[in-house]
Amino acid sequence: MSKQRYFLGGTSPEGFKSKFIDLIKDPKYYTYVLKGGPGTGKSTLMKKIAEEFDDCNISVFYCSSDTRSLDAVVIEDKGVIVVDGTAPHVFETIYPAAFQDLINLGDCWNRKEIEKHKDALRYTFDENQKYHARTKCYVEALSSLNDDIYAIGESCLEKKKLSSYIGRLMKKLLPKSETNGDGKLQFRQLSAFTADGYMTMPVGDDYSVYFIKDDLFCGGDFFLRNLADSFTRKGYTVSVSECTMLHSFTYEHMIVEELKLAFLTGNFFNKLYLESASVINFARFYDKSSLTDKKQRLLFDKKASLELADEAAVSLSTALDIHDEMEKFYINAISFDMLNEKTEKLIAEIKEK
């Protein structure tokens, strides 16, 4: 059975960005929304869910602020989602009991124990938010530089040449037999900015991987958008991952699960490199003389963007350290017997679906 890893969302110039709500709104899923503050065992519960249904086709969604933690589990075979519904990705029931249900893990707290540390908790909450705000400032600044790199790329991109290549590639990739499905575009976040820098989740070993080598963002975005249109028109479901390190919606990776095809972009910023993939070097699709005229501007943008990314990672790492200290107060106040009881009850309920 397959298990694919994603991020629920990630830091962007506008703050935390996620399109997971599209999954919750999909009527083929029943969603359990977990509520409760830090240390209530939301991630622990979801890890147990993922382990229990390991023999099913599942997707696990990690927290970009803390890659040790899960934010959601999607059990495809059961049509069930279990998701953390607390900030920064606040989710509520849209159609209570019909398509969603709330599970309050805050019931497992000993509130009198928490009240003993209310002043320390208030301080750590405020400090954590301060460092997240600082991270956002750095990301906003570096995204403007990446926007400029994209604009330079767009001014030099030889779209006619690239379009011809896309046409030839699609003839090679598309099966001769027609699919019976309806084409659909969906968003799944494969990359996100974390406390360890920009990170990309791996795809399964059974995928044929095309590695898009493009330092200017624009060519890869144009390429993936055209491929996504072609595959969806032919009836395939296409999963797209956007780069959140620009202000515009920029395609970075793409998966066509039915054909076991993956297209992953590597550039100066995400530092992704895949040795075993089929490499498409996008340098050939840009006008070299035009790029030469903008060489110094590009060098400045890239250097400054990476320096700001380093500072953003330090800030996010500090926020995570503070969050870990904050969580200790809540963990010491939780009833693990109650948490285990809620977990077993939820597992039993999912098995009945």
Per-residue pLDDT of 86-140, as tens digits, reads 988 899 999 999 999 999 998 888 888 889 999 999 999 999 999 999 999 999 9
Tokens of 325: 């200290």
pLDDT value at residue 176 = 81
Give which of 29, 30, 31, 9 is closest to 20, Cα–Cα: 9
- Measured CA to CA in angstroms, residue 153 lies from 169, 220, 268 at distances of 22, 10, 14
Q: At what angle do helices 336-351 and 42-52 cross, to 10 degrees?
A: 40
pLDDT value at residue 109 = 86
> Which residues have C-beta within 8 Å of that of residue 133, sequence separation ≥ 6?
none
> Which residues have C-beta within 8 Å of that of residue 103, sequence separation ≥ 6?
32, 33, 34, 35, 342, 346
> What's the N-to-C CA distance of the chain in angstroms?
19
Per-residue pLDDT of 157-210, as tens digits, reads 999 999 999 999 999 999 887 777 789 999 999 999 999 999 999 998 899 999
Q: Is the peptide bond before 88 cis (omega within 30 degrees of 0)?
A: yes
Looking at every residue in the chain, the average pLDDT score rounds to: 94
